[in-house]
Structure 1
Amino acid sequence: MSTHAVTLRPRELRSHGAAVPPVLPGTGEAPHLWLVRTAEFRTRAREQAAAVLDRSEQERADRFRLPADRDTYLSTHLGLRLLLGAYLRTDPAEVALTRLPCPLCPEPHGRPAVEGNPVHFSLSHSDGLGLLAFAASPVGVDIEQVPPPEVAEEVGRSLHPREWDELRGYPTPERPEAFARTWARKEAYLKGLGTGLGRDAALDYVGTSAAPAALPGWTISDVEVDEARTAAAVAVRN
Structure 2
Amino acid sequence: MSSADALPEPLPTGLPDVHLAPVAPGLAHAERHAGILNAAERARLARFAVAADRDRYLTAHVALRILLGERLGQRPEDVPITHAACAGCGGPHGRPVVPADPVHFSLSHAGDFFVIALSDHAVVGVDVERVPAGPLPGALHPEEEDELALLNPADRPAAFARAWTRKEAVLKAIGAGLQTDPTTLLLGTAPTPRPHPAWHLTPIPTPPSYAATRADPLLLHEGLEQDPGQ
TM bucket (normalised to shorter chain) is 0.7 to 0.9
Q: Which moved more, 1:89-98 or 1:64-73?
A: 64-73
**Can you list the C-alpha shifts for 1:22-71, whole angstroms capped at 9, x where unaligned?**
xxxxxxxx76101232222111211221x200111111112222212211
CA distance in 2, matches of 1:178, 1:190: 19
**Can you list the C-alpha shifts for 1:137-165, whole angstroms capped at 9, x where unaligned?**
11000000011231x1xx2x321111111
**Equivalent of residue 93 in structure 2, options 91, 109, 114:** 109
CA distance in 1, matches of 2:187, 2:174: 14
Corresponding position: 1:170 with 2:154: no
How far residue 214 of structure 1 moved from its aligned partner, in angstroms, is: 1.2
How far residue 185 of structure 1 moved from its aligned partner, in angstroms, is: 0.8
**Equivalent of residue 75 in structure 1, options 44, 59, 62:** 59
**Aligned residue number for residue 6 of structure 2:** 16
How far residue 229 of structure 1 moved from its aligned partner, in angstroms, is: 0.3
- Report SS of the residue matched to 2:182: coil
**Aligned residue number for residue 141 of structure 1:** 126
How far residue 177 of structure 1 moved from its aligned partner, in angstroms, is: 0.8
Could you tell me which runs of 5 or more consecutive residues in structure 1 were left unpaired when the two chains were aligned. 1-13, 20-29
CA contact under 8 A between 1:121 and 1:132: conserved in structure 2?
yes
For residues 211-226 of structure 1, what are the structure 2 equivalents within 5 Å?
Answer: 211-225=192-206
How far residue 104 of structure 1 moved from its aligned partner, in angstroms, is: 1.3
Query: Are the structure 2 counterparts of residues 138 and 18 from structure 1 closer, same or farther at C-alpha, using a change threshold of 3 Å?
Result: same
Corresponding position: 1:34 with 2:24: no
CA distance in 2, matches of 1:17, 1:200: 36
Could you tell me which runs of 5 or more consecutive residues in structure 2 were left unpaired when the two chains were aligned. 10-14, 221-230
**Aligned residue number for residue 231 of structure 1:** 211
CA distance in 2, matches of 1:122, 1:171: 33
CA distance in 2, matches of 1:45, 1:64: 16
**Aligned residue number for residue 118 of structure 1:** 102
How far residue 168 of structure 1 moved from its aligned partner, in angstroms, is: 1.3
CA distance in 2, matches of 1:63, 1:17: 25
CA distance in 2, matches of 1:195, 1:207: 20
**Can you list the C-alpha shifts for 1:147-205, whole angstroms capped at 9, x where unaligned?**
1231x1xx2x3211111111111111111111011101110011111101110001110
How far residue 210 of structure 1 moved from its aligned partner, in angstroms, is: 1.3
What CA RMSD, in Å, does the superposition of the two structures yield over aligned residues?
1.7
How far residue 15 of structure 1 moved from its aligned partner, in angstroms, is: 5.9
- Report SS of the residue matched to 1:170: coil
Corresponding position: 1:52 with 2:70: no
**Aligned residue number for residue 11 of structure 1:** none
CA distance in 2, matches of 1:182, 1:115: 31
Corresponding position: 1:208 with 2:208: no
How far residue 17 of structure 1 moved from its aligned partner, in angstroms, is: 6.5
Query: Are the structure 2 counterparts of residues 125 and 15 from structure 1 closer, same or farther at C-alpha, using a change threshold of 3 Å?
Result: farther
Moved over 2 A (4+): 14-19
Would you say how many aligned residue pairs link Structure 1 and Structure 2? 209
CA contact under 8 A between 2:7 and 2:26: conserved in structure 1?
no
CA contact under 8 A between 1:33 and 1:134: conserved in structure 2?
yes
